Chains A and B, each alone.
Chain A
Amino acid sequence: MDQEQLPLISVVMATRNRAGLLKQSMHSVLNQTFRNLELVVVDDGSTDDTRDVVESVIDSRVKYVRGHGRGISAARNTGADHSRGLWTAVHDDDDIMLPTRLEEQLKYADDSVDFIYGAFINFDDASGKLQLHHGRNYGFGPALMTGFAPGHSTWLVRTDLIRKFRYDEGIESAVDNNLTFRMLRSGVRFKHSGVICLLRRVHSGRITDQGGKGQKYVAQMNLAFIKRGFSEDEIDTLSKEARRDWGAVDKKKWETKFLGFIPDHLVKRSGFLLSTNYVEDQLGTLQRLALDDASAMDWFDFVQRCGSGASQDNVTVRVRERPEIESLLQGIELEPKIRRKDNRTLLTEFALGWLDSNPEDNFGTSPYIALVIGESRMWTDQQKKLAVNRFVTGRGRDEFMAGIIEFNSLEAAVRLNAVIFTASDFDYRILASGGIDAVQDRVSMELVPGTDSKSV
């Protein structure tokens, strides 16, 4: 196959008799915002309908590989043998990968790093209770302290390294711990991405729950191996340093930020997803916006839309109550805060937020732009032509539109408003490009006292 056609990332999933959870796990991978991937599912001798579930997912990026029931290490090695990606992302068959995980982690992939990892959130599949594991900056210190290893399903590792080291097929538990220790001793370069990568399902059938004595015995031997050559004083010193050396995870609002990706039986969503797509129009390339009711979506739909770039900033999520309370809540569902905002406000907030995060895209080479928002039926043809649209909502005549007009001078922006937009029911805002000092200088030179510029 042509090199250009190869995926950048192989997501490798080993599975055995988890057909009930597999589809959700696969869906979360296939709906990543980063698309240039393949999903290698190694079926380690399932006797349920795992194969049917995998093959029912119609996506050319999925590769089903039948293993031989030789255990988790052998299955993961088989996955590495079938991988074509430069990087391998580890994923488990019962976990939910968060939509931007791969896109965010890839930002750290350069020639100074071999092994990128991150944080994860445990969620209790029965209660919905969350627990953040943000992980330490990896090195000998954390390894010596507690036998710490980066969370397995957060790994993004160079595929050639997995093939060279391989999972130890002589052990069945703590295989990830074993592999990272061996890599650590070989000079492999680790990097904590700070990315919260996944929701890890805590349920009674987890492999780590089934290890029993074997789990402890292998972990103990792994730890003994990594400690060799260090004195007790060195271990003590390095452990103390590691205690304070956490990965740089953005923990702001983590409890609510990812709640929407928890399965439907645990949470209820409301509010709106804001989706955007580009369309060609007689006015030029427009960014069309759509507000979709999150309460009407199931988990699969919600994840798919978020993976396509929809913003969930306007979605609210709550953990479901017990069934009897939940039934009482039906019909008296509190009006979400978002419903109190009209479309104009939502669109203005979105447009300003978008301008704020992509100033160069919007200003082009112009020092000023005017942002104009109003109901579409109120736009005259002349106004539409003037406002070379960058945003629009929907297609209906009653929906709201937003346009960006570029200007080389403040005076021109103000004058256009006076001539064309003042008498109409539009929000008209003039924005200036550049740092605060530059903008202040420019405005002080150009602003004519008494002009009615609404905002600069």
Chain B
Amino acid sequence: MHIIFQQADGAARTALSVEVETGEVNPELASLLFDVSPSSVSATQTAVAGALLYGSGSLKRLKVNGEMPDTAVAEISQVIGFPVESDSVELIENSSVGQLDSLLKVTSLRVSLGLDLARETPGRDETRLTLFPSERYYGGLLGIKEAVVASNAWLHATYVDPARVLAAAGVLFANDFLAEGLTLPDVSGEERDIISRLCRIAGLETTFEAIG
């Protein structure tokens, strides 16, 4: 399965997409779409987001464009249980490829599906990404510590666990919010472990909260 993160051709949006290979089953949805593009996404983040979103399907291997640290390649492969490939692999000492200075990354990014705007701004060291259904809205509202972005994440969340979908979106947008962690809806023990391990490879700690 080839994971690609790019402008969606002819769709005015950004997409995390897959191209299946022989012997693999097509996922229910081939693309996770956003009407607003994150400012910078590394190959590692793309691979982690792809593993989160499509890793529970019938993958045989996961391939991404770009350069990834060898440790990330090994760690993702270990979590998802099948080979990971990128255009080139960097040795561990160059692991900062595509990542921002960790000193600046201090916020916890809360990612959720929704249709409501919050009256209050996010609390101290907190940031917020709310994904509105793109079947009803186009575009995004971009604030200082928060953003509302139209996406088809809601539809993905009917096929795979919503926490996986939101984690994938959070990983892709993490740099925009200088996030060091993600706050996600709670999920069963095994899934929580997989999501946490994958997010950690992208430099993000995870907190799970029950949705009230």
Contacts and interface: CB of A to CB of B under 8 A. Distances in A.
Interface in B1-30: 10-13, 15, 25-26, 29-30
A228 B137 CA distance: 10
Nearest to B25: A111
Contacts, number: 51
Contacts of B98: none
Contact of B152 (A111, A112, A187, A189): A187
A229 B10 contact: no
Contact of B11 (A140, A165, A182): A140
Is the interface on chain A under 10, 10 to 19, 20 to 34, or 35 or more residues?
20 to 34
A139 B26 contact: no
Interface-centre pick from B13, B15, B30, B138 (highest chain A CB count, 10 A) = B138
A228 B139 contact: yes
A185 B152 contact: yes
Interface-centre pick from A164, A187, A225, A228 (highest chain B CB count, 10 A) = A187
B12 A229 contact: yes
Interface string B29-51: 11111010000000000000000
A186 B155 contact: yes
A388 interface: no
Interface string A234-260: 100010000000000000000000000
Given A186-B155, A225-B138, A228-B138, A139 B10 contact: yes
A187 B29 contact: yes
Contacts of A230: 12
B54 to A, nearest CB: 13
A271 interface: no
A307 interface: no
A130 interface: no
B29 A229 contact: no
Given A164-B155, A229-B35, A185 B135 contact: yes
Nearest to A144: B10
B119 interface: no
Contacts of A189: 30
B134 interface: yes
Nearest to A226: B138
B162 to A, nearest CB: 14
B158 interface: yes
Nearest to B156: A187
A352 interface: no
A183 interface: yes
The 9 closest A-B pairs by CB, nearest first: A229-B12, A182-B135, A228-B138, A186-B152, A111-B26, A187-B31, A140-B10, A185-B134, A112-B26
Given A160-B158, A187-B155, A229-B13, 19 more contacts: A111-B25, A111-B26, A140-B10, A140-B11, A141-B10, A164-B155, A182-B135, A182-B136, A185-B11, A185-B138, A185-B152, A186-B33, A186-B133, A187-B29, A187-B30, A187-B32, A228-B139, A229-B139, A238-B10
26 contacts: A111-B25, A140-B10, A140-B11, A140-B12, A141-B10, A160-B158, A182-B135, A183-B135, A185-B135, A185-B152, A186-B33, A186-B134, A186-B135, A186-B155, A187-B15, A187-B29, A187-B31, A187-B152, A225-B138, A228-B12, A228-B139, A229-B12, A229-B139, A230-B12, A234-B10, A238-B10
Interface of A: 111-112, 139-141, 160, 164-165, 182-183, 185-189, 225, 228-230, 234, 238
